Chains A and B, each alone.
Chain A
Amino acid sequence: MASYLVTVFVLITLNFWLPRAMPGDPIETLISRGSSSFVYGEESVAKLEEYYGLNGSVASQYGQYLARLARGDLGRSITTNQPVRDEVARALPWTILLIGGSLVLSTLIGLTLGVRSGWRRDRPVDRAMMTGLLAVREFPPQLFASLLVFVVAVKLEWLPLFGAETPFSSSFGPIDRVVDIGRHALLPMLVLTCGLMVGQYLVMRAGMVTELGSDYLLLGRAKGLHQRRLKYRYAARNALLPVVSLSAVEIGFAVTANVIVERVFSYPGLGQLMVGSIGTRDYPALQGAFLAFSLGIVTVNALADVLYRRLDPRTTA
């Protein structure tokens, strides 16, 4: 656990230090001739530095930064002039919905396919699934997402094009709202799920194949246990462990694909907040989104660690 705390601390420090290590002075950019917020005078420079917490020595800035962070203050967005914390809080649920939903879906689908494929190793079913899913993994998410928009939303008009909900949908009844949100989330989730399930499928399949030769399965078969019981209760259970340790890789992949997918669908999540702030050089918002993403990833990894220990009594030693 301690190592996760160290990681969190390093991330927080990186978040402070990286922008300062880069060439260029933000205040200078802000007030440069030609910028829309052109101002002149030592006084306004000092005011701006104070406003953005850029006055004083680096050490005192760092101290202030930590103190503000402890209060949950992430600064103000340069483009919208709203507290970054509010912007992150508004975006976060959408991202959690997309990533969480697709993690659940991909686990269900990936594991089921993996169990079946491994059980029928080297048969045509297995070969077909393996080739098909490996090909799916290589498909760049931006192309896949754009293809779905084009076919499902534009040509067939089955689902909405972009966004997370219909504008002014707060006047809808609760059921209509859920349906509306679901319809908007379906395509982005589909892209994420397809990418995620391949890793889980591969690991589950490999696990099943290793279990296939085990003595306990032979014994079970000799005892006359039912195929299905052997497959799911015995073999699949043992093959599940490596899948849990895969979650660190999976969450990293999910975040990457999520950022891209949110951009294609203009989905108002954290990824859009982060990507949008690149173009506008809105560093407080960029850093806020970065922190939220990083803490999320570290938390998921820590949880997977705990889960793994629970599942495999051997690692508690």
Chain B
Amino acid sequence: MTAPADPRLEAETPRPQRRPGPSVLRSPLMVVGLTVLGLLVFVAVFAPLLATHDPKVVTGAALERPSARHWLGTNDSGRDLFSQLVYGTRVSLLVGSVGPSLALLGAVMIGVLPALIGGRVDRLSNRFVVFLLALPGLPLLVLIGALVGQNQWAIIIVIATGGIAPNARILRAKALSLREAGFISAARGFGGGPFYVLRRHFVPGLGPLILVGFVTWASTAIALEAGLAFLGLGDPSGVSWGLMLERGLSQRSLYFSPMWTWWVLPPGIAITIAVMSFTFVGVALEPTFNPRWLRSS
């Protein structure tokens, strides 16, 4: 780092005027969403310290009630449910970050880049996107998931591919309208090179949409992972909220004993909280980035 600048000098140089107020960051939805997400990240990072047992090791009798030793009891194989809940945060956050990252990377590749190149490339890739959108989402996910076998990473990648087409369509539309926009022709006319235009106009123009798409797909991806794991496509030796639900709901006597409240309810609520926190952030971002929404509400 360089030496700190003289504060008087700093005060004299006029700072570039920022755009007025990051008021999005102060909207209640955003505050709640980000706080919860922060908490989840904290739990995921410090899972080994927060968990009372190793979630994969048998540490008690089967189907124990909640006690001082096992806060949420144990499952049918004697593994600690509270620790599974804590470690499950890791899987959901992993899915919620890797899934949408891959999805949006793919969306930029087949939505934005072809739109910038234009011509036949764009027409072909658009055909492809429309075709992808027409595919039956979940049945295809289940078929592929069943065929690749119970593998955590395969599931994440399969979920990510599902997010490519919808995001590509939105981004392409925006990229096309930007390409035709007056200020971009003007920038070109004044001698702006392709990289200059890309950096100064396309990136700021598309960035917000990419951000909103990321947040939206993150919540979808978490819900999907929980759903697929629940359908029996998860890695049975792994630890995730969806798997906890799956095992819990497979117990025949589940509803006729109180274990429903400590086995099924906690992971179910955890999934809801994780999904909702991303949605809150997404809804809070939307009005600032989508002027149509502003006008209509």
Contacts and interface: CB of A to CB of B under 8 A. Distances in A.
Chain A binding site: helix, strand, loop or mixed by DSSP?
helix
A4 B136 CA distance: 12
Given A10-B131, A146-B268, A149-B255, A278 B232 contact: yes
B230 interface: yes
Contacts of A289: 139
A105 to B, nearest CB: 21
Interface string A67-85: 0000000000000000000
A22 interface: yes
Given A10-B131, A140-B275, A161-B255, A18 B147 contact: yes
Contacts of B146: 277-278, 281, 286
Contacts of B256: 154
A167 interface: no
Interface stretch (A45-53, A176-184, A292-300): A292-300
A290 B143 contact: yes
B74 interface: no
Interface string B132-150: 0111111110111111100
Contacts of A255: 136-139
A256 B134 contact: no
B134 A7 contact: yes
Contacts of B265: 143
A58 to B, nearest CB: 16
Contacts of B276: 135, 138
A255 B138 CA distance: 7
A122 to B, nearest CB: 7
B116 interface: no
Interface stretch (A185-193, A259-267, A306-314): A259-267
Interface residues of A, number: 54
B226 interface: yes
B40 to A, nearest CB: 15
Interface string B240-278: 000001000100000110001000110011011001100
A301 B131 CA distance: 12
Contact of A140 (B133, B223, B296): B223
Given A150-B260, A161-B255, A263 B268 contact: no
B219 interface: yes
Q: Specify which of B135, B136, B256, B283 lies most central, judged by the most chain A CB atoms within 10 Å of its CB.
A: B136
A140 B227 contact: yes
A232 interface: no
B271 A6 contact: no
Interface magnitude class on chain B: 35 or more
A252 interface: yes
A274 interface: yes
Given A138-B279, A142-B249, A19 B147 contact: yes
Given A143-B271, A146-B268, A293 B136 contact: yes
A3 interface: yes
A143 B272 contact: yes
A60 to B, nearest CB: 22
A274 B142 contact: yes
Contact of B245 (A4, A10, A142, A149): A142
A6 B131 contact: yes
A47 B139 CA distance: 31
A288 to B, nearest CB: 11
Contacts of B198: none
B283 A7 contact: no
Given A142-B245, A255-B136, A287 B143 contact: yes
A290 B140 contact: yes
Contacts of A153: 255
A150 B296 contact: no
Given A134-B279, A290-B140, A260 B134 contact: no
Q: Specify which of B144, B145, B256, B297 lies most central, judged by the most chain A CB atoms within 10 Å of its CB.
A: B297
Nearest to B241: A140
B231 interface: yes
Contact of A275 (B144, B232, B245): B232
B50 interface: no
Nearest to A126: B297
Contact of B227 (A142, A161, A290): A142
Given A121-B297, A140-B227, A289-B139, A146 B264 contact: yes
Interface in B111-139: 130-131, 133-139
Nearest to B283: A134
A241 to B, nearest CB: 15
Given A143-B272, A256-B224, A281-B146, 16 more contacts: A4-B134, A7-B131, A15-B143, A140-B272, A142-B226, A142-B245, A143-B268, A143-B269, A146-B268, A154-B255, A248-B133, A255-B137, A275-B142, A290-B140, A290-B143, A298-B134
Q: Which 10 A-B pairs have the closest CB atoms?
A: A143-B268, A293-B139, A256-B138, A297-B136, A294-B136, A22-B147, A278-B146, A154-B255, A138-B276, A7-B134
7 contacts: A140-B271, A150-B260, A252-B136, A259-B142, A264-B249, A293-B139, A294-B136
